[in-house]
Structure 1
Amino acid sequence: MGNDRNSYAKTDIDATFMHMKEDHMRNSQLKPGYNIQIGVSNEYILHLDIYKERSDYKTLIPFLEGFKKSYDFYPKYPVADAGYGGLTNYRYLKLNDMELYQKYAMYAKDTHDKKRMKDPYFPFNLTKEGNDYLTPNGDTLKYLYRNNRGNDVYELPNGKRKEINDENLTYQKEVIKNLTSPLGIELRVQRSIQVEGAFGVIKEAFKVRRFRRRLTHNVKMEFYLTAIGYNLRKYHNKKYRITE
Protein backbone atom coordinates (compact mmCIF):
# COMPACT_ATOMS: atom_id res chain seq x y z
CA MET A 1 0.00 0.00 0.00
CA GLY A 2 3.00 2.29 0.49
CA ASN A 3 3.28 5.69 2.13
CA ASP A 4 2.35 7.86 -0.83
CA ARG A 5 -0.31 10.34 0.24
CA ASN A 6 -2.01 10.09 -3.13
CA SER A 7 -2.60 6.39 -2.63
CA TYR A 8 -4.92 7.27 0.23
CA ALA A 9 -6.98 9.81 -1.66
CA LYS A 10 -10.04 7.60 -1.35
CA THR A 11 -9.69 6.79 2.31
CA ASP A 12 -13.20 6.53 3.65
CA ILE A 13 -14.96 6.32 6.95
CA ASP A 14 -18.25 4.66 7.62
CA ALA A 15 -20.16 3.01 10.45
CA THR A 16 -22.70 0.89 8.69
CA PHE A 17 -21.47 -2.31 10.31
CA MET A 18 -23.18 -2.27 13.69
CA HIS A 19 -23.19 -5.43 15.78
CA MET A 20 -25.44 -6.15 18.72
CA LYS A 21 -24.38 -9.17 20.79
CA GLU A 22 -27.24 -11.02 22.51
CA ASP A 23 -27.53 -10.32 26.25
CA HIS A 24 -27.85 -13.00 28.90
CA MET A 25 -31.56 -12.26 29.39
CA ARG A 26 -32.13 -12.99 25.68
CA ASN A 27 -34.81 -10.34 25.43
CA SER A 28 -32.65 -7.58 23.84
CA GLN A 29 -32.99 -5.32 26.89
CA LEU A 30 -29.32 -5.40 27.83
CA LYS A 31 -27.58 -5.71 24.46
CA PRO A 32 -24.08 -4.19 24.40
CA GLY A 33 -23.31 -2.50 21.09
CA TYR A 34 -20.06 -2.02 19.18
CA ASN A 35 -19.72 0.83 16.72
CA ILE A 36 -17.21 -0.40 14.15
CA GLN A 37 -15.42 2.15 11.97
CA ILE A 38 -13.22 1.26 9.02
CA GLY A 39 -11.05 3.31 6.68
CA VAL A 40 -10.79 1.93 3.14
CA SER A 41 -8.40 2.94 0.36
CA ASN A 42 -7.91 1.21 -2.98
CA GLU A 43 -10.34 -1.45 -1.70
CA TYR A 44 -8.14 -2.44 1.26
CA ILE A 45 -9.00 -1.81 4.91
CA LEU A 46 -6.23 0.48 6.14
CA HIS A 47 -7.49 1.32 9.58
CA LEU A 48 -10.23 0.24 11.94
CA ASP A 49 -11.41 0.95 15.43
CA ILE A 50 -14.28 0.02 17.70
CA TYR A 51 -16.21 2.36 19.96
CA LYS A 52 -18.93 2.11 22.54
CA GLU A 53 -20.06 5.55 21.41
CA ARG A 54 -23.40 5.27 19.56
CA SER A 55 -22.93 8.53 17.68
CA ASP A 56 -20.81 8.31 14.52
CA TYR A 57 -20.17 12.04 14.85
CA LYS A 58 -18.07 11.59 17.97
CA THR A 59 -15.93 8.85 16.45
CA LEU A 60 -14.52 10.87 13.54
CA ILE A 61 -11.76 12.71 15.42
CA PRO A 62 -10.45 9.74 17.45
CA PHE A 63 -10.58 7.58 14.31
CA LEU A 64 -8.52 10.03 12.27
CA GLU A 65 -6.11 10.50 15.16
CA GLY A 66 -5.66 6.72 15.19
CA PHE A 67 -5.02 6.80 11.45
CA LYS A 68 -2.42 9.54 11.95
CA LYS A 69 -0.71 7.51 14.67
CA SER A 70 -0.50 4.47 12.37
CA TYR A 71 0.59 6.19 9.15
CA ASP A 72 2.12 9.47 10.36
CA PHE A 73 -0.15 11.62 8.19
CA TYR A 74 -3.82 12.46 7.78
CA PRO A 75 -5.78 11.35 4.69
CA LYS A 76 -6.38 14.29 2.37
CA TYR A 77 -9.92 13.25 1.47
CA PRO A 78 -11.60 11.51 4.44
CA VAL A 79 -14.93 11.05 2.68
CA ALA A 80 -17.82 10.23 4.99
CA ASP A 81 -21.57 9.98 4.78
CA ALA A 82 -24.16 11.97 6.75
CA GLY A 83 -23.67 11.74 10.49
CA TYR A 84 -20.02 12.78 10.55
CA GLY A 85 -20.24 16.40 9.40
CA GLY A 86 -20.64 19.24 11.88
CA LEU A 87 -18.95 22.31 13.29
CA THR A 88 -16.54 20.60 15.71
CA ASN A 89 -15.43 18.03 13.14
CA TYR A 90 -15.11 20.62 10.38
CA ARG A 91 -12.89 22.77 12.59
CA TYR A 92 -10.70 19.77 13.32
CA LEU A 93 -10.44 18.81 9.65
CA LYS A 94 -9.52 22.33 8.57
CA LEU A 95 -6.97 22.63 11.39
CA ASN A 96 -5.24 19.50 10.12
CA ASP A 97 -5.42 20.40 6.41
CA MET A 98 -8.00 17.78 5.46
CA GLU A 99 -10.63 18.54 2.85
CA LEU A 100 -14.33 18.83 3.72
CA TYR A 101 -16.07 15.94 2.00
CA GLN A 102 -18.32 14.89 4.91
CA LYS A 103 -22.07 15.36 4.68
CA TYR A 104 -23.88 17.07 7.55
CA ALA A 105 -27.31 16.20 8.90
CA MET A 106 -29.32 18.55 6.65
CA TYR A 107 -27.22 18.05 3.52
CA ALA A 108 -29.93 16.20 1.58
CA LYS A 109 -32.58 18.83 2.30
CA ASP A 110 -30.20 21.73 1.63
CA THR A 111 -29.36 20.34 -1.81
CA HIS A 112 -32.59 18.65 -2.95
CA ASP A 113 -35.58 20.21 -1.15
CA LYS A 114 -36.71 22.81 -3.70
CA LYS A 115 -39.21 24.44 -1.34
CA ARG A 116 -36.51 24.88 1.29
CA MET A 117 -33.99 26.15 -1.25
CA LYS A 118 -36.44 28.79 -2.54
CA ASP A 119 -37.26 30.05 0.96
CA PRO A 120 -35.99 33.68 1.15
CA TYR A 121 -34.87 32.99 4.72
CA PHE A 122 -32.87 29.92 3.72
CA PRO A 123 -29.37 30.70 5.11
CA PHE A 124 -27.63 30.06 1.79
CA ASN A 125 -29.84 32.72 0.15
CA LEU A 126 -28.92 35.44 2.64
CA THR A 127 -26.37 38.22 2.18
CA LYS A 128 -24.43 39.62 5.15
CA GLU A 129 -24.58 43.38 5.58
CA GLY A 130 -22.78 44.54 8.69
CA ASN A 131 -24.20 42.55 11.59
CA ASP A 132 -27.48 41.89 9.79
CA TYR A 133 -28.58 39.68 6.91
CA LEU A 134 -30.55 40.65 3.82
CA THR A 135 -32.91 38.32 1.96
CA PRO A 136 -33.23 38.27 -1.86
CA ASN A 137 -36.55 40.15 -1.57
CA GLY A 138 -35.03 42.95 0.51
CA ASP A 139 -36.11 41.92 4.03
CA THR A 140 -33.65 42.42 6.87
CA LEU A 141 -32.79 39.90 9.56
CA LYS A 142 -31.62 42.09 12.45
CA TYR A 143 -28.85 40.79 14.66
CA LEU A 144 -29.88 40.53 18.33
CA TYR A 145 -27.25 38.57 20.27
CA ARG A 146 -25.09 35.43 20.39
CA ASN A 147 -26.57 32.62 22.45
CA ASN A 148 -24.76 30.17 24.71
CA ARG A 149 -24.56 27.63 21.85
CA GLY A 150 -22.39 30.01 19.87
CA ASN A 151 -25.11 30.85 17.33
CA ASP A 152 -26.13 34.36 16.34
CA VAL A 153 -29.82 35.13 16.87
CA TYR A 154 -31.64 37.32 14.32
CA GLU A 155 -35.10 38.85 14.33
CA LEU A 156 -37.20 38.34 11.21
CA PRO A 157 -39.66 40.99 9.94
CA ASN A 158 -42.57 38.93 11.31
CA GLY A 159 -41.08 38.99 14.81
CA LYS A 160 -39.85 35.41 14.78
CA ARG A 161 -36.25 34.60 15.53
CA LYS A 162 -33.68 32.60 13.58
CA GLU A 163 -30.31 31.18 14.65
CA ILE A 164 -27.34 31.21 12.27
CA ASN A 165 -23.73 30.18 12.83
CA ASP A 166 -21.64 31.99 10.24
CA GLU A 167 -18.63 29.71 10.68
CA ASN A 168 -20.64 26.53 10.25
CA LEU A 169 -22.53 28.05 7.32
CA THR A 170 -19.21 28.72 5.58
CA TYR A 171 -18.12 25.12 6.12
CA GLN A 172 -21.45 23.78 4.85
CA LYS A 173 -21.15 25.81 1.66
CA GLU A 174 -17.67 24.38 1.14
CA VAL A 175 -18.97 20.84 1.72
CA ILE A 176 -21.73 21.29 -0.87
CA LYS A 177 -19.27 22.74 -3.38
CA ASN A 178 -16.82 19.87 -2.80
CA LEU A 179 -19.35 17.04 -2.88
CA THR A 180 -21.06 18.29 -6.04
CA SER A 181 -17.78 18.75 -7.91
CA PRO A 182 -16.58 16.02 -10.34
CA LEU A 183 -14.04 14.86 -7.75
CA GLY A 184 -16.66 14.88 -5.01
CA ILE A 185 -19.07 12.81 -7.08
CA GLU A 186 -16.33 10.28 -7.84
CA LEU A 187 -15.30 10.07 -4.19
CA ARG A 188 -18.90 9.54 -3.10
CA VAL A 189 -19.30 6.73 -5.62
CA GLN A 190 -16.07 5.14 -4.41
CA ARG A 191 -17.17 5.50 -0.78
CA SER A 192 -20.32 3.57 -1.50
CA ILE A 193 -18.56 0.87 -3.52
CA GLN A 194 -15.53 0.38 -1.31
CA VAL A 195 -16.91 0.70 2.20
CA GLU A 196 -20.30 -0.88 1.64
CA GLY A 197 -18.56 -3.50 -0.45
CA ALA A 198 -16.12 -4.31 2.35
CA PHE A 199 -18.90 -4.73 4.88
CA GLY A 200 -20.90 -6.75 2.37
CA VAL A 201 -18.07 -9.24 1.88
CA ILE A 202 -17.44 -9.50 5.62
CA LYS A 203 -21.09 -10.09 6.44
CA GLU A 204 -22.09 -12.25 3.48
CA ALA A 205 -18.97 -14.06 2.27
CA PHE A 206 -17.29 -14.34 5.68
CA LYS A 207 -20.60 -14.81 7.54
CA VAL A 208 -19.40 -12.46 10.27
CA ARG A 209 -22.62 -11.30 11.88
CA ARG A 210 -21.91 -12.00 15.53
CA PHE A 211 -18.82 -11.47 17.65
CA ARG A 212 -17.65 -14.40 19.70
CA ARG A 213 -15.81 -12.31 22.27
CA ARG A 214 -16.76 -9.74 24.87
CA LEU A 215 -15.15 -6.45 25.93
CA THR A 216 -14.00 -3.85 23.44
CA HIS A 217 -10.33 -4.88 23.23
CA ASN A 218 -11.28 -8.51 22.58
CA VAL A 219 -13.85 -7.56 19.95
CA LYS A 220 -11.28 -5.26 18.33
CA MET A 221 -8.73 -8.08 18.09
CA GLU A 222 -11.37 -10.34 16.58
CA PHE A 223 -12.24 -7.78 13.95
CA TYR A 224 -8.55 -7.12 13.23
CA LEU A 225 -8.22 -10.78 12.28
CA THR A 226 -11.32 -10.47 10.09
CA ALA A 227 -9.88 -7.39 8.37
CA ILE A 228 -6.56 -9.16 7.75
CA GLY A 229 -8.47 -12.03 6.18
CA TYR A 230 -10.45 -9.57 4.06
CA ASN A 231 -7.28 -7.84 2.81
CA LEU A 232 -5.56 -11.14 2.00
CA ARG A 233 -8.64 -12.26 0.07
CA LYS A 234 -8.72 -8.94 -1.77
CA TYR A 235 -5.02 -9.21 -2.67
CA HIS A 236 -5.44 -12.78 -3.93
CA ASN A 237 -8.49 -11.89 -6.00
CA LYS A 238 -6.77 -8.87 -7.53
CA LYS A 239 -3.62 -10.84 -8.30
CA TYR A 240 -5.51 -13.59 -10.07
CA ARG A 241 -8.25 -11.31 -11.42
CA ILE A 242 -11.03 -13.08 -9.58
CA THR A 243 -14.37 -11.24 -9.74
CA GLU A 244 -16.04 -11.08 -6.33
Structure 2
Amino acid sequence: MHADTTHSQPAHRRRVPLWLKGAYTLFIAILVPHYWQTYGPTNFLFFCDVAAFFTLAAVWLERPLLASMPAIGILLPQALWIIDFLLALCGFRMTGMTDYMFDSSIPLFSRGLSLFHFWLPILLVWLNWRLGYDQRALRAWTVLAWGLVAFCYLCMPAPPAPPEDPQRVVNINYVYGLSDKQPQQWLPQPLYVLAEMAVLALLIFWPTHALLSRLFPLATHDEPTRTIV
Protein backbone atom coordinates (compact mmCIF):
# COMPACT_ATOMS: atom_id res chain seq x y z
CA MET A 1 0.00 0.00 0.00
CA HIS A 2 1.01 3.64 -0.30
CA ALA A 3 2.46 5.30 2.74
CA ASP A 4 4.05 8.65 3.47
CA THR A 5 7.59 8.66 4.75
CA THR A 6 8.01 9.78 8.33
CA HIS A 7 11.13 10.76 10.21
CA SER A 8 10.78 7.65 12.37
CA GLN A 9 11.32 5.29 9.45
CA PRO A 10 14.74 3.63 9.19
CA ALA A 11 17.14 5.56 7.00
CA HIS A 12 17.58 2.68 4.58
CA ARG A 13 13.84 2.80 3.81
CA ARG A 14 14.10 6.40 2.66
CA ARG A 15 17.39 6.60 0.78
CA VAL A 16 18.42 5.93 -2.77
CA PRO A 17 21.01 3.15 -2.39
CA LEU A 18 24.56 4.38 -2.01
CA TRP A 19 25.81 2.09 -4.78
CA LEU A 20 23.35 3.72 -7.19
CA LYS A 21 24.44 7.20 -6.16
CA GLY A 22 28.06 6.24 -6.75
CA ALA A 23 27.47 4.44 -10.04
CA TYR A 24 25.42 7.28 -11.50
CA THR A 25 27.93 9.88 -10.33
CA LEU A 26 30.73 7.90 -11.97
CA PHE A 27 28.77 7.79 -15.22
CA ILE A 28 28.27 11.56 -15.20
CA ALA A 29 31.95 12.05 -14.36
CA ILE A 30 32.84 10.09 -17.51
CA LEU A 31 30.11 11.56 -19.74
CA VAL A 32 30.72 15.25 -19.10
CA PRO A 33 34.41 15.53 -20.06
CA HIS A 34 33.96 13.25 -23.07
CA TYR A 35 30.97 15.15 -24.42
CA TRP A 36 32.63 18.48 -23.63
CA GLN A 37 35.72 17.53 -25.61
CA THR A 38 33.82 15.87 -28.46
CA TYR A 39 30.82 18.15 -28.92
CA GLY A 40 31.48 21.23 -26.81
CA PRO A 41 29.56 22.66 -23.84
CA THR A 42 26.48 23.61 -25.86
CA ASN A 43 25.65 19.91 -26.14
CA PHE A 44 24.51 20.04 -22.51
CA LEU A 45 21.57 22.27 -23.50
CA PHE A 46 19.69 19.29 -24.92
CA PHE A 47 16.71 18.26 -22.79
CA CYS A 48 18.13 14.77 -22.26
CA ASP A 49 21.42 16.15 -20.94
CA VAL A 50 19.66 18.63 -18.67
CA ALA A 51 17.55 15.73 -17.41
CA ALA A 52 20.71 13.76 -16.66
CA PHE A 53 22.01 16.57 -14.43
CA PHE A 54 18.67 16.88 -12.63
CA THR A 55 18.78 13.14 -12.02
CA LEU A 56 22.24 13.46 -10.47
CA ALA A 57 20.86 16.01 -8.02
CA ALA A 58 17.83 13.81 -7.37
CA VAL A 59 19.78 10.68 -6.45
CA TRP A 60 21.90 12.60 -3.94
CA LEU A 61 19.38 15.04 -2.46
CA GLU A 62 16.42 12.63 -2.75
CA ARG A 63 14.03 15.47 -3.52
CA PRO A 64 10.97 14.33 -5.46
CA LEU A 65 10.79 17.54 -7.50
CA LEU A 66 14.30 16.96 -8.87
CA ALA A 67 13.30 13.50 -10.09
CA SER A 68 9.85 14.51 -11.29
CA MET A 69 10.97 17.40 -13.50
CA PRO A 70 13.19 15.36 -15.84
CA ALA A 71 10.58 12.60 -15.92
CA ILE A 72 8.06 15.13 -17.24
CA GLY A 73 10.52 16.21 -19.90
CA ILE A 74 11.96 13.03 -21.32
CA LEU A 75 9.86 9.94 -20.59
CA LEU A 76 7.72 10.16 -23.74
CA PRO A 77 10.49 11.27 -26.14
CA GLN A 78 12.90 8.70 -24.74
CA ALA A 79 10.26 5.98 -24.99
CA LEU A 80 10.23 6.74 -28.72
CA TRP A 81 14.05 6.56 -28.72
CA ILE A 82 13.95 3.16 -27.03
CA ILE A 83 11.39 1.77 -29.49
CA ASP A 84 13.33 3.14 -32.46
CA PHE A 85 16.58 1.64 -31.14
CA LEU A 86 15.09 -1.79 -30.47
CA LEU A 87 13.50 -1.89 -33.92
CA ALA A 88 16.81 -0.87 -35.48
CA LEU A 89 18.51 -3.74 -33.64
CA CYS A 90 16.00 -6.05 -35.32
CA GLY A 91 16.64 -4.54 -38.75
CA PHE A 92 13.65 -2.20 -38.96
CA ARG A 93 13.86 1.57 -39.40
CA MET A 94 11.13 3.69 -37.83
CA THR A 95 12.13 7.35 -37.35
CA GLY A 96 15.87 7.19 -37.90
CA MET A 97 16.52 9.06 -34.66
CA THR A 98 18.85 6.31 -33.47
CA ASP A 99 20.67 5.77 -36.77
CA TYR A 100 23.78 7.29 -35.22
CA MET A 101 23.96 4.38 -32.77
CA PHE A 102 24.82 2.13 -35.72
CA ASP A 103 27.17 4.56 -37.48
CA SER A 104 30.63 3.01 -37.46
CA SER A 105 32.21 6.42 -38.07
CA ILE A 106 31.19 7.41 -34.54
CA PRO A 107 33.49 5.92 -31.88
CA LEU A 108 32.00 2.94 -30.08
CA PHE A 109 32.74 4.59 -26.74
CA SER A 110 30.63 7.62 -27.67
CA ARG A 111 27.78 5.40 -28.78
CA GLY A 112 28.07 3.40 -25.59
CA LEU A 113 27.71 6.53 -23.49
CA SER A 114 24.66 7.49 -25.53
CA LEU A 115 22.91 4.38 -24.26
CA PHE A 116 21.91 6.50 -21.28
CA HIS A 117 18.95 7.49 -23.48
CA PHE A 118 17.80 3.91 -22.97
CA TRP A 119 18.26 3.42 -19.24
CA LEU A 120 17.80 6.95 -17.85
CA PRO A 121 14.00 6.87 -18.34
CA ILE A 122 13.90 3.55 -16.48
CA LEU A 123 15.89 5.07 -13.62
CA LEU A 124 13.55 8.07 -13.51
CA VAL A 125 10.51 5.81 -13.33
CA TRP A 126 12.09 4.01 -10.37
CA LEU A 127 13.00 7.29 -8.66
CA ASN A 128 9.44 8.59 -8.98
CA TRP A 129 8.12 5.33 -7.58
CA ARG A 130 10.62 5.47 -4.75
CA LEU A 131 10.46 9.18 -3.88
CA GLY A 132 6.95 10.03 -5.05
CA TYR A 133 5.83 12.25 -7.89
CA ASP A 134 5.83 16.00 -7.22
CA GLN A 135 3.03 17.64 -9.19
CA ARG A 136 4.87 20.97 -9.23
CA ALA A 137 7.14 19.40 -11.82
CA LEU A 138 4.77 20.16 -14.69
CA ARG A 139 4.97 23.91 -14.25
CA ALA A 140 8.66 23.91 -13.33
CA TRP A 141 9.82 21.81 -16.28
CA THR A 142 7.56 23.63 -18.73
CA VAL A 143 9.06 26.98 -17.76
CA LEU A 144 12.58 25.54 -17.96
CA ALA A 145 11.94 23.87 -21.32
CA TRP A 146 10.41 26.99 -22.83
CA GLY A 147 13.41 28.97 -21.64
CA LEU A 148 15.78 26.46 -23.23
CA VAL A 149 13.86 26.48 -26.50
CA ALA A 150 13.91 30.28 -26.65
CA PHE A 151 17.62 30.43 -25.79
CA CYS A 152 18.57 27.76 -28.32
CA TYR A 153 16.61 29.54 -31.04
CA LEU A 154 17.99 32.99 -30.28
CA CYS A 155 21.58 32.10 -29.40
CA MET A 156 22.54 28.69 -30.80
CA PRO A 157 23.46 27.87 -34.43
CA ALA A 158 20.95 26.72 -37.01
CA PRO A 159 21.61 23.69 -39.20
CA PRO A 160 23.63 22.59 -41.04
CA ALA A 161 26.98 22.33 -39.27
CA PRO A 162 29.69 24.14 -41.25
CA PRO A 163 31.99 21.94 -43.37
CA GLU A 164 35.03 23.15 -41.45
CA ASP A 165 33.44 22.05 -38.15
CA PRO A 166 31.17 19.06 -38.83
CA GLN A 167 30.99 18.17 -35.13
CA ARG A 168 29.45 21.51 -34.18
CA VAL A 169 26.18 21.03 -32.34
CA VAL A 170 23.32 22.65 -34.26
CA ASN A 171 19.54 22.69 -34.02
CA ILE A 172 19.56 22.06 -30.28
CA ASN A 173 16.22 20.71 -29.06
CA TYR A 174 14.93 20.75 -32.64
CA VAL A 175 14.21 24.47 -32.61
CA TYR A 176 14.82 24.56 -36.38
CA GLY A 177 12.89 21.41 -37.23
CA LEU A 178 13.57 17.69 -37.11
CA SER A 179 16.55 17.71 -39.49
CA ASP A 180 20.13 18.68 -38.69
CA LYS A 181 20.76 19.19 -42.42
CA GLN A 182 18.59 22.24 -42.98
CA PRO A 183 15.96 24.38 -41.18
CA GLN A 184 12.33 23.40 -41.55
CA GLN A 185 10.33 25.07 -44.31
CA TRP A 186 6.79 24.44 -43.11
CA LEU A 187 6.27 27.61 -41.08
CA PRO A 188 7.91 30.98 -40.51
CA GLN A 189 10.64 30.19 -38.00
CA PRO A 190 9.29 32.26 -35.05
CA LEU A 191 5.89 30.63 -35.50
CA TYR A 192 7.50 27.20 -35.59
CA VAL A 193 9.24 27.87 -32.27
CA LEU A 194 5.95 28.91 -30.67
CA ALA A 195 4.30 25.80 -32.09
CA GLU A 196 7.07 23.64 -30.65
CA MET A 197 6.53 25.19 -27.22
CA ALA A 198 2.81 24.44 -27.44
CA VAL A 199 3.39 20.85 -28.58
CA LEU A 200 5.86 20.23 -25.77
CA ALA A 201 3.47 21.52 -23.12
CA LEU A 202 0.22 20.03 -24.40
CA LEU A 203 1.24 16.78 -26.08
CA ILE A 204 4.32 15.70 -24.11
CA PHE A 205 4.57 17.32 -20.68
CA TRP A 206 0.90 17.38 -19.68
CA PRO A 207 0.12 13.76 -20.67
CA THR A 208 3.23 12.60 -18.84
CA HIS A 209 2.18 14.60 -15.78
CA ALA A 210 -1.29 13.05 -15.86
CA LEU A 211 0.16 9.54 -16.16
CA LEU A 212 2.71 9.97 -13.38
CA SER A 213 0.08 11.53 -11.09
CA ARG A 214 -2.05 8.44 -11.54
CA LEU A 215 0.65 5.78 -11.33
CA PHE A 216 2.86 6.94 -8.47
CA PRO A 217 2.35 8.15 -4.89
CA LEU A 218 2.23 11.93 -4.70
CA ALA A 219 5.08 13.55 -2.83
CA THR A 220 4.48 16.05 -0.07
CA HIS A 221 6.38 19.31 -0.36
CA ASP A 222 7.85 19.33 3.13
CA GLU A 223 9.37 15.85 3.03
CA PRO A 224 12.42 14.90 0.98
CA THR A 225 11.09 11.48 0.04
CA ARG A 226 8.14 9.16 -0.04
CA THR A 227 8.31 5.47 -0.41
CA ILE A 228 6.16 2.39 -0.69
CA VAL A 229 5.78 0.00 2.20
TM band (smaller chain) = under 0.3
**TM-score, length of structure 1 as denominator length:** 0.26
User: Please, what TM-score do these two structures have when normalized by structure 2?
Assistant: 0.27
Higher relative contact order (CA 8 A, sep 6+): 2
